[in-house]
Amino acid sequence: MQEKEFSHYIQNYPFKEVQQRIYYLNEEKNHTQKTIERIIEKTYQDEHIRWDEFLYLLTKPALDYIEELAQIAQRITRKRFGKTVLLYAPLYLSNECKSICTYCGFRYDNPIKRKTLTVEEAIQEAMILHSQGIRHILLLTGEDYRNTPISYIGEVAEKLQRHFSSIGIEIYPLKQNEYEYLRTKGVDSLTIYQETYDPERYREVHLQGVKRRMEFRLNCPDRAGKAGLRRIGIGALLGLSDPQTEVAMVGLHAQYLQKRYWKTQITVSLPRLRPAENIKNVPLISDSLYALFFIALRIFLPDVSLILSTRESPRFRDNMIPICITQISAGSKTEPGGYSGYDTTEQFHISDTRSVADIVNMLKQKDLDPVFTDWVYVMK
Amino acid sequence: MIEDQFQRDPKPLKIANRTFKSRLFVGTGKFSSTKSMRDAIELSCTEMVTVALRRIDLTKPMEEEDIIASLDLTKIQLLPNTSGARDAEEAVRLARIAREMGGGNWIKLEVTPDPYYLLPDGKETLKATEILVKEGFVVLPYIQADPILAKQLQEAGAATVMPLGSPIGSNQGIRTKESIKIIIEQAEVPVVIDAGLGLPSHVAEAFEMGADAVLVNTAIAISVHSGYSAFSFALATLAGREAYLNGIYGNTNARTLELSYESNTWKKASASSPLTGFLDEENR
């Protein structure tokens, strides 16, 4: 019988049990490595790997095979995506927020410079991105249903529709009919990160606001899928709970969405926690393990578009992109009005501050084609 | 030199009102640069190039688009395609916009509701073909290797049928052989095998079977040298077509070949240029 939504489906995979399983695989090096070799053989036969096999690729013993796994991931990426990388840019409409999330610079109780762009200011910001060649744009807000209502998001999207091939949103969770409404205004994709799939940690880091409702957020991609959005992006903020288990859950979620909403393209991002306003003590996830996560996801889900955040350094991005990354943002600002030079507070600190033109040059040097348009407004 | 060889064909390929010497059609997706795409188009000697409308800024005239601007349209038939369209309505709207923006009236109809295997939806493809033919389009529909659907599309006025050999980008060759044989046997319009052709031998096999043309994209685009690779597909086109014309039947049971990308990285990771060398020093 089909589960109703992801929150029901995930009950068969309790976070703590998956974590224990991964802990065991980390410890049992011999067993794990033998199995990894079998999994590698499978990929040479062009066979898909199962989720329980994917877990092996997230473990510390898998690090001994990272080069070979990277070669496999690159081969799969070339085959499914070619030598192309899709470019997009975020547009922060607002940093007003009614939620308190311990890891975020926009949290309600942070005394920061707040701003919500007027529709005109938003268009002005967007046209700066447009002049740089950007045609896929992502509209972001905090968790503030009142100051940034969906009528406002809809109005901005509608005005931008003529100029941009694709308009995505990364805002507070909505109901299905609200996604349907935004679709009529030209929105075609949704990004919504669960932040953490660990229910215990979820409660600890979300202290106030609608975001506290874990299940409502977890089923958000389902509602967007039912509303017929063309792309749905999910992810976890690595550093809140056990990163290996988080990635295991993101993989599970992505696979579920692919099967259930089979007309929708799924994208995955795995941002690492970065310092932001009043955020200290960021846990360390080694570059090697972090790289392994993307490589493993690519092997497990050949068709999922993988995104690598501007939170990462240019050097790390430049080396990862040719392996398995298919979508990146460029020239990003994470504060409302940032492109026009307003002085407001950013959500997190950008590490890769290169311009769109610089990113394009870098991709060309890597023999990759920067794609600005991969959508048509008539296909909303 | 190779163009001269194409001239030898006693029965040149005719689609709608145009005659083609080359029977190899080329796609423009997945290339690393416009330059490598141009090399591929040039060395393949193709006369028909398909371009995904979703990759084009449709708010401005098409000839201003990089991809299109680099094509010699006096020699090449531009074939815009509707990849990404999920139903007949979207495909029809795309085709109309393409024509308005100067893309001409040839359209490769792709209705692919699932974004992963990109398999075509026959029902919607037939519906869109009926509408577009009435509006004066030259319609080349991409379909499953379904002989009945191929017949229905011909009746609806399609200029060719384009059955798939295997899923797009899979490079698995012709896995739908028995059905395609029936389509070739029954077709009254040219049969173009499209999708899944990953090796020159797959292309040669298509022509040995009696296909009228083939369309290749991924295999050329992702090879190390797209230009030379395209040339090898052109040679295979000639070889297969000559074999067919001269009744060389042999045993054409395709063996599945292991693809070897980029100098055998298939077998084992090569230590000479590791992808993950940058991870040696942890510097966070």
Tell me the nearest-neighbour CA distance from B14 into chain A, angstroms: 31
For residue range B227-252, list pLDDT tens digits in order: 888 999 999 998 988 887 776 544 33
Half-sphere exposure of B241 (CA within 13 A, CB side): 22
Cβ <8 Å between B171 and A79: yes
CA dihedral A19, A23, A26, A28 (to 10 degrees): -130
Residues of B in contact with A87 (CB under 8 A): none
Q: Kindly tell me the sign of the dihedral angle through the C-alpha atoms of A117, A119, A124, A127.
A: positive
Mean pLDDT for the stretch of residues B22-31: 87
Q: Coil, strand, or helix at residue A232?
A: strand
**In this model, does residue B84 exceed pLDDT 90?**
no
Kindly report the length of chain B: 284
- The answer on pLDDT for B255 being more than 60 is no
Annotated catalytic, B108?
A: yes
Identify whether the C-beta of residue B225 lies closer than 8 Å to the C-beta of residue B194: no
Partners of B77 in beta bridges = B48
- Give the pLDDT mean for A333-353: 84
Instruction: Give per-residue pLDDT as tens, A290-329.
Output: 999 999 999 999 999 999 998 899 999 999 999 999 999 9
Reported confidence tier of residue B253, pLDDT bands at 50, 70, 90:
very low
- pLDDT-based confidence at B71, cuts 50/70/90? confident
CA distances to A140, A178, A185, A320 from A151, rounded to whole Å, are 14, 10, 10, 39
* List of residues 6+ apart from B168 with CB closer than 8 A: B117, B118, B195, B196, B218
Is the confidence at residue A106, as pLDDT, over 90? no
Task: Answer yes or no: is pLDDT of A221 > 90.
Answer: yes
What's the length of chain A?
Answer: 380
Residue A316 · residue A287 · CB < 8 Å: yes
Cα separation of B178 and B183, whole Å? 9
DSSP class per residue in A41-107: HHHHTTPPPPHHHHHHHTSGGGGGGHHHHHHHHHHHHHHHHTTEEEEEEEEE-B-----EETT-TT-
C-alpha to C-alpha distance for A176 and A19, rounded to whole angstroms? 32
How far apart, in whole angstroms, are the C-alpha atoms of residue A221 and residue A176?
10
Element holding A225 (H helix, E strand): helix A220-226
Task: For chain A, say whether B275 makes contact (Cβ under 8 Å).
Answer: yes
Q: Which of A85-89, B11-15, B71-75 has the highest mean pLDDT?
A: A85-89
pLDDT of residue A380: 54
- Choosing among B111, B114, B284, which should be mutated to test the A contact, i.e. which has the most A CBs within 10 A? B284
Record: contact B54-A379, CB cut-off 8 A: yes
Structure tokens of A173?
Answer: 């969770």
Average confidence (pLDDT) over A63-81: 94
- What pLDDT does B64 receive? 77
Determine whether the interchain pair A75/B266 forms a contact, defined as Cβ–Cβ distance below 8 Å: yes
Tokens of B104: 């001409």
Which residue among A71, A162, A368 sits closest to B275, beta carbon to beta carbon? A71
Model confidence at B269: pLDDT above 60: no
Q: Which amino acid is at B162?
A: M
More confident residue, A137 or A349: A137
pLDDT of B254 > 50? The answer is no
Which neighbouring-strand residues pair with A136?
A: A166
**Which residues does chain B have within 8 Å of residue A322's beta carbon, measured at their own beta carbons?**
275
Average pLDDT over residues A45-64: 91
Query: What average pLDDT score do residues A35-54 get?
Result: 88
Contact B213, B47 (CB under 8 A): no
Contacts of A303 (CB under 8 A, 6+ apart): A80, A258, B115, B116
Q: Is B114 on the interface with A (CB under 8 A)?
A: yes
- Give yes or no for A135 touching B (CB within 8 A): yes
pLDDT of residue B284: 40
| Mean pLDDT to the nearest integer, B161-185 | 89
Q: With 70 as the cut, is the pLDDT of residue A353 above it?
A: yes
Tell me what pLDDT residue B247 has: 60
* Beta strands B162-163 and B18-20, pairing class: unpaired
Q: Which of A165, A113, A142 is nearest to A277 (CA)?
A: A113
Supply the pLDDT for residue A278.
57
Pairwise pLDDT comparison (B282 vs A251), residue with the higher score:
A251
Question: Cβ–Cβ of A44/B266 closer than 8 Å?
Answer: yes
Query: What are the CA-CA distances from residue B123 to residues B86, B128, B144 (Å)?
Result: 12, 9, 11
Q: How close A294 gets to chain B, by Cα (Å)?
A: 12
Cα–Cα distance for residue pair A232/A111, rounded to 1 Å: 32
CA-based nearest distance B250→chain A, Å? 28
B57 — contact with chain A (CB < 8 Å)? yes
Residues in chain B within 8 Å Cβ distance of A66: 276, 279
- pLDDT band per the 50, 70, 90 thresholds, residue B256: very low
* Averaged pLDDT, A9-23: 93
| Confidence label for A281 from pLDDT (cuts 50, 70 and 90) | low
Tokens of B255: 């063996």
pLDDT of residue A339: 87
pLDDT of residue A132: 93
Shortest CA distance to B176 belongs to which of B143, B224, B129, B218? B143
Element (H, E) at A138: strand A136-140
Within 8 A by CB and 6+ apart from A325, the residues are: A85, A294, A306, A307, A308, A317
Distances (CA, A) of A66 to A25, A62, A296, B125, B220: 16, 6, 9, 44, 28
Least Cα separation, residue B95 to chain A (angstroms): 11
Mean pLDDT of A179-203: 95
DSSP character string of A248-295 = HHHHHHHHHHHHHSTTSEEEEE-PBP---TT---PPP--HHHHHHHHH
User: How confident is the model over B115-141, as a mean pLDDT?
Assistant: 94
What is the reported pLDDT for A3? 59
Burial of A365: CB neighbours in 10 Å, binned 0-12, 13-18, 19+: exposed
d(CA A40, CA A328): 28
A chain contacts of residue B97, beta-carbon cutoff 8 Å = 376, 378
Which residue(s) pair with A369 in the sheet?
Answer: A84
B115 → closest Cβ in A265, A373, A378? A265
Instruction: Determine the average pLDDT of the residues in B60-78.
Output: 81
Q: Tell me the average pLDDT of chain A.
A: 91
Give Rg (Cα) of chain A.
Answer: 20
**Residue B209 pLDDT level (bands cut at 50, 70, 90):** confident
pLDDT one-digit tens code per residue, A222-257: 999 999 999 999 999 999 999 999 999 999 999 999
Interatomic CA distance for residues B141 and B133, integer angstroms: 11
| Mean pLDDT value across residues A128-141 | 94
Query: What is the reported pLDDT for B259?
Result: 28
pLDDT above 70 (res B281): no
How many CA atoms within 13 Å lie on the side-chain side of B199? Answer: 14
Q: How far apart are CA B127 and CA B156, in angstroms?
A: 9
Report how far residue B211's alpha carbon sits from residue B201's, in angstroms, rounded to the nearest whole number. Answer: 14
**Confidence check: pLDDT of B266 > 80:** no
Percent of chain A with pLDDT over 70: 96
pLDDT of residue B181: 86
